[in-house]
């Protein structure tokens, strides 16, 4: 497992290096956004990975509440932490792009607001776990927050369809791709790189959870 | 905001945050692996796995 994890880490690093080259130098500038479009090659993958992360949180939380196995809780906790990191990055890169293209760091747009709510909900998820006096109770409560919070993900995705927003609609929908092939390639390479990085981080984070749980268990056994 | 500043800012933020996160994760992993209870053999066997 350790060799697989190391290999995955090296692969992710190589993919990120290629992605960075393609995003900053190999891909063409956009007709309207010019070179600011290059921020999209890091913004879109961070959002996609955050969606993936919260999907894992929701599924693992349901399984934890249903089966009660600690492994599902460890997976949900790890994915939630990573989801918060990547959502924070998505908000930051989106804000920088917004300042460059829209002329403002922030606007009360449906897509932006619902994404900020998602970030806060999962920060709450992490706080519930940290502040709970009873570890098991905290995990159960966090699982409920993790499941309810996931409702925001489809709302974010369809916010550009349901509401009148400044944020542009999706460029890739089933049967309709509004991107030039070199831009699509740059986006897909970076998406793959971020997915590999995410997988590496998730495996490492779950391993940390398992080691900490094993140590806590061993310490309890040692207590008279 | 110029293109160079915007790109440096966006990619810089992502790079710094991810590097700090990975380093923190590695440090925590190393700390947990090195913290072994000498009185408990079961703890050692679990952590060594």
**Closest-CA distance of chain A to residue B10, Å:** 5
What does the pLDDT look like over B9-30, one tens digit per residue? 999 999 999 999 999 999 999 9
Mutation target vs A (from B4, B10, B11, B41; most A CBs, 10 A cutoff)? B10
**Are the Cβ atoms of A218 and B35 closer than 8 angstroms?**
no
Nearest to A165 by CA among A98, A88, A84, A86: A98
Rounded CA gap, A186 and A65, in Å? 40
**Closest-CA distance of chain B to residue A224, Å:** 12
Rounded CA gap, A141 and A135, in Å? 10
User: Of B1, B7, B43, which is closest to A215 when you measure between CB atoms?
Assistant: B43
Which pLDDT value is given to residue A196? 97
Residues in A touching B41 (Cβ below 8 Å)? none
Which pLDDT value is given to residue A224? 57
Residues in B touching A222 (Cβ below 8 Å)? 37, 39-40, 43
Check if the beta carbon of residue B11 is closer than 8 Å to that of residue A45.
Answer: no
**Closest-CA distance of chain B to residue A20, Å:** 9
Task: Say yes or no: B8 contacts chain A, CB-CB below 8 A.
Answer: no
What does the pLDDT look like over A14-55, one tens digit per residue? 999 999 999 999 988 888 888 999 999 999 999 999 999 999
Residues in B touching A24 (Cβ below 8 Å)? 7, 11
**Are the Cβ atoms of A222 and B43 closer than 8 angstroms?**
yes
Residue of B nearest to A212 (CA): B32
User: Tokens 């080691």 map to which residue?
Assistant: A211
Helices (H), A39-109: 40-67, 70-101
Which pLDDT value is given to residue B36? 57
Q: What is the ipTM of this complex?
A: 0.90
Which parts of chain A sit beneath pLDDT 70? 1, 223-224
* A12, A15, A17, A19: CA torsion to nearest 10: -130
């Amino acid at each position: 497992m350790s060799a697989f994890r190391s290999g995955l880490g090296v692969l992710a690093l190589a993919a990120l290096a290629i992605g960075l080259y393609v995003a900053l130098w190999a891909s063409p500038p956009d007709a309207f956004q010019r070179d600011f479009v290059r921020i999209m090659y890091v913004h879109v993958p961070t959002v996609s990975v955050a969606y993936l992360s919260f999907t894992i949180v929701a599924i693992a939380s349901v399984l934890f509440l249903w089966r009660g196995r600690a492994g599902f809780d460890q997976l949900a906790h790890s994915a939630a932490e990573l989801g918060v990191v990547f959502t924070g990055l998505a908000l930051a890169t989106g804000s920088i792009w917004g300042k460059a293209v829209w002329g403002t760091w922030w606007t009360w747009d449906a897509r932006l607001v619902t994404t900020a709510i998602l970030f806060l909900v999962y920060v709450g998820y992490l706080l519930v776990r940290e502040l709970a006096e009873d570890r098991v109770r905290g995990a159960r409560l966090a699982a409920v927050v993790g499941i309810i919070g996931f409702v925001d993900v489809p709302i974010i995705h369809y916010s550009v369809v349901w509401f009148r927003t400044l944020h542009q609609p999706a460029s890739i929908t089933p049967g309709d791709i509004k991107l030039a092939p070199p831009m699509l390639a740059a986006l897909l390479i970076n998406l793959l790189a971020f997915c590999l990085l995410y997988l590496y981080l998730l495996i490492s984070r779950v391993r940390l959870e398992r080691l900490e749980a094993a140590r806590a268990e061993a310490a309890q056994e040692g207590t008279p | 905001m110029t293109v160079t500043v915007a790109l440096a800012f966006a990619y810089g933020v992502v790079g710094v945050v991810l590097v700090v996160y990975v380093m923190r994760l590695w440090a925590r992993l190393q700390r947990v692996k090195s913290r072994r209870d000498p009185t408990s053999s079961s703890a050692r066997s679990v952590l060594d796995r």
